[in-house]
Structure 1
Amino acid sequence: KARMFKNGGHPLVFEGAIKRTENVQVGEAVDVLDGAGELIGWGVWNPHSLYRVRMLVPAIERDQLEHRSISEIVRRRLQAAASRRAACCLPSESTTAYRLVNSEGDRLSGLTVDVFGSTAVAISSALWLELRREAVEVALLELAGIETVVWRRSDGRLRTDGWNPPEASGTAEGEADGRPAPAPPVTVLENGLKYLVAPVLGQKSGFYCDQRDNRAMLAELCAGRRLLDLYCYSGGFSLAAAAAGATSTHGVDSSAAAIGLAQSNAALNGFGSVCEFSQSDVPAFLKREGVAESFDVVVCDPPKLAPSVKDLRRAGRKYRQINSLAMSAVRPGGLLLSCTCSAAMTQSGGFLPMLHEAATAAGRSLTVLRTSGPACDHTLHPCCPESNYLTAVLVQV
């Protein structure tokens, strides 16, 4: 088992890899040794979690091994993450919304941080972070450009990590923890377009930075064409297409709040006459008269349908149904960008076969033009491919 974790290997140590423990306390720094007693690295211990140790420093990083200070390694990891984004030209004059920390990808397992202008939204999904919340917030505020930190909790994941919410918390998945709300929604830039972001009340962190590159890619194909943006949330694909010269865009989402946000974003950029939005159940909208073969380009980006591997069969049926309907809305020879944000689906290798089955059900055929993932600020640990979650497939229908 030790081979998995040596030389900066896998960042998560499961129960089955542990032979014995000595003098360990929940949330504290622990050394991880191999069978010969040699140091593999150190991390944080949690006997309640599926991940018994979240590795913070492997032995190969000799310069970081001397002090077992979790607060200090958090500070260093955050500085390294900021340097990584700077290498990707983030932030920039045209983009002020980006992911600063991507959990295992930035060697801070359980922590996700998105930055919107001068506001950092930290999403905690691990007990060790709840125990050191203040240290994380202080370290974030030390970074250039960050003036405010909003702390949000992924309650479902935290509960599986042994966290018991405070009685008065009243938080739901990904919601703020009840502290006084910071300033009203902030305005950010993505590739020169303006977006309103609600760090406290929006879905997840308030904005989906992961689709930035895919939005830019698809926009280039939309000049003079009609776009249908399914599960549009704040209208990212619609606005990018409108800016690139789409003749019209139509966004659909079941959330009234999302539609209101998308409409505000369209108005903010002067696209009110180009971008239309409808609050509707997506399958119901696609079954309406006049929708079939009406659009040159269709985006299908549903929420996570397969939270885990055990959900794949059920989710597969939903993906097939939605994509089959979406393909029917594409004019012959048009384009479909179909996405999944379910890690289980991405890692199963079943997304492309599902698209083929959906095309067969719709009486259409597909040609794959491109397969992509999230933007480069959504970093990936090379020994933890299971944290890869987003797949976006561009096909001609």
Structure 2
Amino acid sequence: MSKDANFLWFLPTHGDGRYLGTTIGARPVDLGYLRQIAQAADSLGYFGVLLPTGKSCEDSWLVASALAPVTERLRYLVAVRPGLLSPTLAARMTATLDRLSGGRLLINVVTGGDPSESRSEGIFLDHDERYSVTREFLGIYRRLLRGEAVTQQGSRLQVENAQLVFPPVQVGGPQIYFGGSSPAGIDVATEHVDKYLTWGEPPAEVAAKLATVSIAAARKGRTVSFGIRLHVIVRDTNEEAWAAAESLISHLDDKTIAKAQKAFAGMDSVGQRRMAELHSGRRDQLEISPNLWAGIGLVRGGAGTALVGDPKTVAARIGEYQALGIDTFILSGYPHLEEAYRFAELVFPLLDRADRPEAARAGSAQIGEVVANAFQPSTARSRAA
């Protein structure tokens, strides 16, 4: 069981709003808005933020470069795409951003699960071939970040006397995150990565996946730690939270859902297939486990499930995942600015967290409104506790 955990938030560089699948209640996502979210996450005590990648997103490296100078402690989980970048260029970019951010860079290795998108990027490889490239890429990339001179003649990638002139701040390079549910993905993960990520499946399914990964890593003489990607919908009561979940998809029509599910079906990602199987595109079977709701996955690719409930309930569900060995939670919610505050203010006090920078600032900050213009409100963990 993982006692203390780190909690990251999400930068919605592909859009944000109050309702899924519609422009109603949507908002422009520009640098100013992303700065608001990043600075909120920084001040609220989140460990870091995930920046998504893909054709529907702003470039994660450029966004992280723009936001790192206006935050203090926040770490940036930025995507590296094997096959789109050479490992030497990726290593230089990594070392540079790690230095410019003062060692606040984390790396998310994304192999890609949409063949159509891959072809549009010039990658004409099948599922397992992409993981073969990823394996060779990481073999070069990690050695460069460790300060080695690398000559490698692989079946996919070759370099001769490659070396970094300027090293990263973090010795050996930033921690590497990676998600892949297929046998090929797990094989690469257990050979090269630090933190294996899963999407938010029911706890029993997550437990089985983590056991598979742990056994595979042990056979190679390695251990990996684990993280999970989830949305959250937290309100003062369970009834309010479920109402908010229903409201989030209240403008979705069946045609939009069917079109989205057709697009997902064309992907070769095992993880995406598992997400789709949780609900099969139906609105009437969205609570797939206690307080785990798959409504977001009706139209959103990737992470499609949310923890729904009052603060105490959501904290308890997080504790169940921690008991399985999850030590990192990458969270998001709609709209992302408001939900970042809501989760931190209502749920953080109920959690065992490894990184709590806001605790050091609590003594100098006013918490809550002064009562009757005379005295401070009493301190409590949570109204739901």
Q: TM-score, normalised by structure 1?
A: 0.29
- The structure where strand makes up a greater share of residues is 1
* TM-score (norm: length of structure 2): 0.30
- The structure number with the bigger radius of gyration is 1
